[in-house]
Structure 1
Amino acid sequence: MEWSQIHPTSLHLSFLFLSGIILLYTVLSRFLKETLLLAEPPLATLVGILAGPAVMDVVKPPTWNLGDHATKELARITASTQVFLVGIGLPEGYCRKHWRGIGILLGPVMIGGWIVCATVIHLVFGASYPSALVISACLTPTDPVLVATILEDPKATSDRIKDLLAAESGVNDGASFPFLYLGIFILTEHSVGAVLRQYFTVTILYQCIASVAVGIALGYGANRLLRYSYERGRITENFVALFPLALIFFSLGFSSTMGMDDFLLVFSAGVGYAYHGRLEHAYQVNPVATSFISFSLSIATFIYFGLMIPWAALTDTPKLSLLKMGLFVLLVLLLRRIPFLVALKRWNPDIETYREALFCGHFGPMGVGALFLSMEARDCLRTSCSRTRTTRSNRWDEYACETVELVWPVVCFTVLGSVVVHGLSMSLAKLTRTLVRSQSPLVKSSSPSNSPGNPSERLNGGIYHDEESLL
């Protein structure tokens, strides 16, 4: 007998599934993170892959009829929340004091990675170089969600390196827009003068420089307004704690409405809000609300990503194949950052050893920001591509169609490789430390003397400390 009250629509079943996974992960979080040593992004992505059309076909996003818009907005909100939290959590005046180290990461390292990735895309997939520049630009930002797995581990590396990677992940999501729009302008504006005019007036001056200025002003002004109201007893404690979270969405709404750089503006708002240094208790972001919102968005985004991975593109797209994609992901992980950070180590005051340079080069994960930029590229180039179906096309419109066809699958599978490699790297690091700690009693018991002044014991202690920290 079937009950008429039961209406199991695909969208509602998906809500039930996604929320159930978040609840289950919550009650098992300590076991998963401390016993099984699993980080949220790779686990959430695996859940999405298993539940999606590729395996069990329980959750079917295409039947929701949400289109790219919902995916793009989810990625925008998730990345914006994370970069704001990065901005608000940096030490006082960090960006001002460490501008040289951050500048090297945002300048030579990002530019070098952009060119290298574009070259690899051109060679591996046979894409035109203009198309390769756009696709490569989507892979320039590092993901603040995946970087957070490093920041959460107190023994992953020094606070100095953690702050550097956090600042980079907060800034370069927005700093990747100039790379993306340069490639888009090359495909849509067919003269050098038009490209340069659009690029410097719209992208550099308005979307980047103005976004930073407006973001700092919004964040600082919001903080001063909150203090003024709180000190005069015009606001309750509960609303004080939630005020910064509302500021995230206000800044995001403002930047989207005005056509500015979302991520740069929101990050700058976080920096401006924390202008007075580490905020005292009354003005801190509510840790419970922040953790819940950040965790839920991250889990939901990576589950959704696992559901949306375009597996069929590997066989349906002529220029793609499993072998080519695997080779491309491997080359990107090896060449995108590591050679540049090692080569520039001597000029970066925040990186003291080549071991730290290798660590920073390895931990440049690609994630939510890359997905957002790929959808932004598709939206901007669809008009040019559509002309090839209605009129006689020129080669630039053909390049635009090529970009629209390749950008989403290439970015998705590269992000998948990054989630697996960078997400599990910290799990392997924790496992290594656990094994080192389990062997330490044997090392100490074999020591010829327990005297503190014994040189060999001091050496053993130094070796153990260095191995335990992994850096």
Structure 2
Amino acid sequence: MTIFIKDKARILSSLGLGDNLHVISQLYINEVLLGTGFGILIGPHVAGIFDPRSWGSDSRITLEVMRVVLATGLFTIGVELPKSYMWDHMKGLLVMVVPTMAFGWVLIALIIYYLFPSINYISSLCIAACLTPTDPIICAAIVSGTFAKKNVKEKLRHILSAESAANDGLAYPFLSISIYLTVEASTRVAIGKWFLVGWLYQVILGTVIGAVIGLIFSRIMKLSHAKGLIGRESYVVQYIALVIFTIGVASTIGSDDLLAAFAAGCAISWDGHFSLQTENEIFASVIDFVLNCACFIYIGAWLPFAAFHSPELDITIGRLVTLVIAILFLRRIPPLLLLYKFVPEITTWKEALFCGHFGPLGVGAVFISTMALTRLPTPESPPANQAQFLAATLQTIVAFVVLGSIIVHGLSIPFISFGRTVPSRVQSMTITWTMSTHAPREWLSSIRRFGSPLPPYIQSEAISDVDPEQAVMSSNNPNGVEIHGPSISEVMSQTSTVTMPGAPGAAESIDILPPGPLGEVLNRLSGDVSEVLKLVVYLVLMDLTEGVS
């Protein structure tokens, strides 16, 4: 831990002079976690500088802020996917979206129904609908980060991005059936409206509208570019203009604007021309980054911390924490482990586990829960019926789960990076011993370095330890022995010289131990411990580290 913290502290010390984006990439902490933390700090519960709930109609403002950010993120995902990706990978997407969402929706509803006795199962389904879809903003921030690009296969990053975008728009049917069953007196009427409005009018019509707009814009821009009427800059400008136009049209007629934005992004880059023209253009990425930062600052200040303990509504911290843990482990991991063999992009159970874990909740959950509130009655105190009780508890539960997901998924990559960093740092140190003798001391012949015994008699000068299990000897100098350890990491490879007692002109102590936290600790050992013991301790620690890795 000390090695990791000390190394990253050097990066933090340059905050005032360096590039903030570079710092974020080095720490593997994305804008989601930083923005939320900053929003909490300046929000009404800490500094009191920024309070979105004091602006008037909290639900309406929150709904529109989340709508714009979500639509922009979904359009970006659609544009950045390879050409005709949705058609070419339809099988895997259908498996990851439909059965996985349905399983998570029903299971989360059961957990909520069990944890909160005053909420019936229909209301639990409504809350679960807000917590079912993967958030595309957080997912994109994770899979497009430095760590993911280095360690996650491209096909996994693409399938996660496409799945998060698709299931966010498909949350409408899950939400609408719950709302209709809650507010409608007749089950038959509720199911009829769910099919006609929830599926045909919202999902299917919204997708068609987005695809048509995207194809029309793509055709117009290709013709304009061929005639020399527009340049690359015009493509970047249309990046944002098309998003606003699409969600404006879809929202006006009451269709699924999120699916419309995603469909428009996929359609406009279907042949790859739009992506080619906007390649290496950072303006759109900067706009997307700024919107994400502003959105999560808003969410951090919006979180209702005071409502997280409301015993009169059966809401307690213990129940909320239990719900977060259950969602993290049961919402996506079990179905993906069962169904990953039907997804061509996922080849091993480890990849399925990774995809199951990285199903964060964030902007999408806040947006869907806020939309649900606009269709529910205003709650009284105390709530008069189940619909009012649902309206009083919905966003409190969703907000706590979103906060937990941001913390867990935002810190997952730094912790994974830390787990890989510590053993590799110690292994990568290059050690050089120099000693003057024709025969090794008795204690030296019993030491195992990286699991390999030293030869009983050393008569040559240099042993190049290229392979931890093998040494190559040379006899250029009969007065000493040098052993060079393997250099695993180019960045952290270090060489130090240790002079053993007994050599002509040598000091009676170890001159230099390898720099770094481990060397500093050993150098602080005083005269109470012999120099031989210091070397033994160092070698034992190296051997233990090799065993852990």
Whose strand proportion is higher, 1 or 2?
Answer: 2
User: Structure 1 residue aligned with 2:403, among 411, 416, 427?
Assistant: 416
Contact 2:42 2:50 (C-alpha < 8 Å) held by counterparts: yes
* TM score, norm. by length of structure 2: 0.72
Change over 3 Å in CA distance of 1:264–1:336 after alignment to 2: same
The question of whether the paired residues in 2 share the 8 Å contact of 1:241 and 1:286 is answered with: no
Q: 2:456 matched to 1:447? A: no
Aligned to 1:154, the other structure's residue is in SS state helix
In structure 1, give the amino acid aligned to 2:70: A
After superposition, give the CA deviation of every residue in 1:217-255 in whole Å (9 maximum; x if it has no partner): 110110101111222233354323311221111111111
Q: Supply the distance in 2 between the matched residues of 1:450 and 1:304 (Cα, whole angstroms).
A: 60
Secondary structure of the 1:303 match is: helix
Range with greater deviation from structure 2 (295-304 or 144-153): 144-153
| Pair 371,280 (structure 1): closer, same or farther in 2 beyond 3 Å | closer
278 and 159 in structure 1: CA distance in 2 versus 1, 3 angstrom threshold: farther
Work out whether residues 80 and 275 of structure 2, in 8 Å CA contact, stay in contact via their aligned partners in 1. no
Aligned pairs for 1:165-184 within 5 A: 165-184=160-179
Q: Check if 1:320 corresponds to 2:338.
A: no
* Counterpart check, 1:228 vs 2:219: no
Counterpart of 1:272 in structure 2 is: 267
Equivalent of 1:361 in 356, 360, 375:
356
Corresponding residue for residue 468 of structure 1? none
Structure 1 counterpart of 2:40, from 42, 49, 73: 49
Deviation by residue 1:363-406 (Cα, 9 ceiling, x = unmatched): 000110100000011110126x57998xxx7xxxx221111011
Tell me the amino acid that sits aligned with residue 176 of structure 1: A
- Separation in 1 of the partners of 2:273 and 2:220? 17
The secondary structure found in structure 2 opposite 1:344 is helix
Distance 1:24 1:131, change over 3 A: farther
Aligned pairs for 1:107-186 (under 5 A) are: 107-126=98-117, 127-148=119-140, 149-152=142-145, 153-186=148-181
Matches within 5 A, 1:323-334: 323-334=318-329
2:515 — aligned with what?
none
1:48-78 Cα shifts (integer Å, max 9, x gaps)? 1122122222323333335221111111111
Flag the 1:229–1:133 CA change in 2: closer, same or farther, 3 A.
same
CA distance change for structure 1 residues 232 and 425 in 2, over 3 Å: closer, same or farther?
A: same
Partner of 1:348: 343
- In structure 2, what is the Cα distance between the partners aligned to 1:324 and 1:25? 44
**Structure 1 partner of 2:504:** none
Structure 1's 401 and 221: CA in aligned 2 closer, same or farther, altered over 3 A?
same
Q: What's the counterpart of residue 204 of structure 2?
A: 209
2:282 match: secondary structure: helix
For the structure 1 residues 276 and 24, does the alpha-carbon distance in structure 2 shift closer, same or farther, using more than 3 Å as the test?
farther
Alpha-carbon distance between aligned partners in 2 of 1:59 and 1:196, rounded to the nearest angstrom = 42
Deviation at 1:290, TM superposition (A): 1.1
Q: Say if 2:94 is the partner of 1:100.
A: no
The one-letter code of the counterpart of 1:99 is: M
Conserved in 2, the CA contact under 8 Å of 1:150 and 1:156? Answer: no
Q: What percent of counterpart residues are identical? A: 34
**In 1, Cα distance between equivalents of 2:309 and 2:17:** 34
Cα shift readout 1:174-215 (whole Å, capped 9, x = no counterpart): 011110001001012222221121111111111111111221
Deviation (angstroms), 1:160: 1.2
Matched, 1:432 2:413: no
Contact 2:28 2:414 (8 Å CA) reproduced = yes
- SS, match of residue 149 in structure 2: coil
Residue 309 of structure 1 aligns to which amino acid in structure 2?
L
Kindly tell me: are residues 436 and 258 of structure 1, through their superposed partners in 2, closer, same or farther at Cα, counting changes over 3 Å? farther
Larger RCO (CA under 8 A, 6+ residues apart) = 1
TM-score (norm 1): 0.84
Q: Which moved more, 1:271-280 or 1:405-414?
A: 271-280
Corresponding position of 1:407 = 394
AA aligned opposite 1:434: T
- Cα distance in structure 1, aligned partners of 2:161 and 2:244: 21
* Structure (1/2) with the larger helix percentage: 1
- Give secondary structure in 1 for the equivalent of 2:131: coil
What is the distance in 1 between the residues matched to 2:275 and 2:407? 38
CA contact (8 A) 1:345 1:354 kept: yes
Contact 1:252 1:266 (C-alpha < 8 Å) held by counterparts: yes
Deviation at 1:441, TM superposition (A): 2.8
Structure 1: runs of 5 or more not aligned: 1-22, 452-459, 462-471
| 2:79–2:275 contact (8 Å) kept in structure 1 | no
Which structure has the greater CA radius of gyration? 2
Question: 98-107 vs 433-442, which deviates more?
Answer: 433-442
SS at match of 1:65: coil
Which letter maps to 1:251?
Answer: T
Partner of 2:250: 255
Larger CA deviation: 364-373 vs 88-97: 88-97
For residues 454-465 of structure 1, the aligned pairs below 5 Å read: none
In 2, Cα distance between the equivalents of 1:50 and 1:333? 26
Runs of 4+ in 1 over 6 A off after TM superposition: 23-26, 386-389
Sort the Cα spacing of 1:117 and 1:26 in 2 relative to 1 into closer, same or farther, 3 A.
farther
1:24–1:48: structure 2 CA closer, same or farther, 3 Å change rule? farther
Matched-pair contact (CA < 8 Å) for 2:239–2:284 = no
SS in structure 2 of the partner of residue 265 of structure 1: helix
In structure 2, the gaps of 5 or more residues are 1-14, 430-449, 451-464, 473-487, 490-549
- Alignment of 1:31 with 2:31, yes or no, is no
2:286 is aligned, of 279, 285, 292, to 292
**Partner secondary structure for residue 425 of structure 2:** helix
Quote the residue 2:305 is aligned against. 311
For residue 55 of structure 1, give the secondary structure of its aligned residue in structure 2: coil
> What is the Cα-based RMSD across aligned positions, in Å?
2.5
Q: Which residue in the other structure is 1:301 paired with? A: 295
CA displacement at 1:26 relative to structure 2: 9.2
Q: Which shows bigger deviation, 170-179 or 88-97? A: 88-97
1:467 corresponding residue in structure 2 = none
Tell me the secondary structure at the aligned position of residue 350 of structure 1.
coil
Q: 1:286 to 1:388 in 2, by over 3 A?
A: farther
Note if contact 1:175-1:208 (Cα within 8 Å) is conserved in structure 2. yes
Residue 456 of structure 1 corresponds to none
Structure 1 residues 322-358: Cα deviation after superposition (integer angstroms, max 9, x where no partner): 1111111111111111111111122222211110111
